[in-house]
């Protein structure tokens, strides 16, 4: 089929070849370095657990019930609709889908640094975005476009002496009706898919100045999906356009900061790999050079390091003489 010639697991279309150096399969795998890497970042994983606890608390508590008067209801009478994108689907495409892509790259390159840091960065991006989103939701308490029918499901309006609404709808609907700003669907989408877009742009060298527009199409696909999710929130009358704009901006900014914490910028020459990988390679190079510079290794490598006269048949072994430049220099200095 035609698409098999474009990209496959073992072979990549020419514009994407030669961009990302291969890693020795025995160098940085989950089996060899995974446990050590996880222990080194144990505090980061504990912070992720703390963010989950904070997110649960923010989701459970009641938001600020903003004053809603009679005149304000004219803009809040949109009909209640079901979500085009269900809540349960958000973690699937914003978290699990990017992780599946990370795993595919790991299966190809066997670089546990890349897998670990991409997963860790993604989870930080999504959870930080979730905490910020729900904290702002609870603090602002902006009513949703369909708030009228959440407050007065039977259409019978009741107001207090100040002209504020006295809702008699379901408590859960009223509570959810005060969580319009910013859009959680949109912020989660831009956090997860925005991180994936940055990851892909680095892996395929989208900004290598070679003019391959196909790379940009791949990079923009996750962003397009996130935009469509945001548009659906306005179409479903669950959010105002300002909520969607703020949520998208929040998620994308957090995703960028979290990505830059673990990876070089995508336009960098080293944008295809995490900082930790290059650090490990540098440490391995320094260690190799240190071992190579030792006197014993130099004597083994340099011709004449071990002086041995040629042997004839029947000759006995000549005496073994070892010359060390370092030792000779020390002896000369003492004399």
Helix (H) or strand (E) holding 333: helix 325-334
How many whole angstroms separate alpha carbon 78 and alpha carbon 134?
23
DSSP lists the bridge partners of residue 294 as: none
Catalytic residue among 33, 185, 212, 240: 185
- Residue 322 backbone dihedrals phi, psi, to 5 degrees: -115, 125
CB neighbour list of residue 90: distance below 8 Å, 6 or more residues apart: 185, 188, 189
Residue carrying the six token digits 């670990």: 116
Select from 128, 125, 121 the least CA-distant residue to 263.
Answer: 121
Answer yes or no: 239 catalytic.
yes
Please say whether the beta carbons of 191 and 125 come within 8 A: yes
CB of 264 closer than 8 Å to CB of 113: no
Beta bridge partners of 164: 69
| Residues 6 or more apart in contact with residue 326 via CB below 8 angstroms | 295
The sign of the CA dihedral 279, 95, 227, 179 is negative
Closest CA to 22 of 126, 133, 106, 136: 106
Question: In angstroms, how far is the first alpha carbon of the chain from the final one?
Answer: 80
Question: Could you confirm whether 43 is annotated as catalytic?
Answer: no
Counts of helices then strands in the chain (DSSP H, E): 14, 2
- CA 89 – CA 184 distance, rounded (Å): 13
Q: Which of 28, 33, 239, 240 is catalytic?
A: 239
Give the residue numbers marked as catalytic: 185, 239
């Amino acid at each position: 089929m035609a698409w098999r010639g474009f990209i496959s697991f073992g072979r990549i279309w020419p514009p994407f070849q030669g961009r990302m150096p291969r890693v020795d399969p025995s160098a940085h795998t989950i089996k060899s370095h995974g446990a050590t890497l996880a222990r080194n970042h144990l505090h980061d994983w504990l912070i992720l657990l703390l963010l989950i606890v904070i997110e649960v608390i923010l989701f459970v508590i009641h938001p600020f019930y903003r004053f809603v008067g009679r005149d304000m209801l004219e803009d809040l009478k949109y009909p209640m609709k079901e979500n085009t994108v269900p809540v349960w689907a958000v973690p699937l495409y914003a978290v699990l889908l990017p992780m599946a892509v990370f795993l595919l790259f790991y299966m190809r390159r066997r670089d546990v640094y890349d897998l670990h840091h991409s997963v860790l960065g993604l989870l930080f991006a999504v959870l930080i975005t979730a905490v910020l989103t729900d904290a702002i939701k609870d603090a602002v308490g902006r009513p949703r476009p369909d708030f009228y029918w959440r407050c007065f499901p039977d259409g019978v309006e009741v107001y207090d002496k100040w002209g504020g609404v006295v809702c008699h709808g379901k408590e859960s609907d009223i509570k959810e009706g005060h969580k319009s700003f910013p859009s959680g669907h949109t912020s989660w989408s831009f956090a997860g898919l925005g991180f994936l877009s940055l990851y892909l742009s680095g892996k395929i060298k989208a900004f290598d100045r070679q003019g391959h527009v196909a790379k940009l199409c791949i990079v923009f696909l996750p962003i397009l999906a996130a935009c469509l999710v945001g548009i659906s929130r306005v179409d479903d009358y669950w959010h105002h356009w300002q909520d969607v704009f703020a949520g998208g901006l929040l998620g994308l900014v957090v995703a960028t900061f979290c990505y830059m914490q673990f990876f070089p910028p995508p336009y960098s020459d080293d944008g295809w790999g995490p900082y930790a990988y290059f650090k490990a390679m540098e440490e391995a190079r320094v260690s190799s050079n240190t071992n190579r510079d030792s006197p014993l290794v130099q004597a083994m490598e340099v011709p004449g390091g071990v002086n041995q006269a040629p042997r004839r048949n029947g000759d006995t072994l000549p005496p073994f003489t070892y010359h060390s430049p370092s030792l000779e220099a020390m002896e000369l200095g003492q004399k």
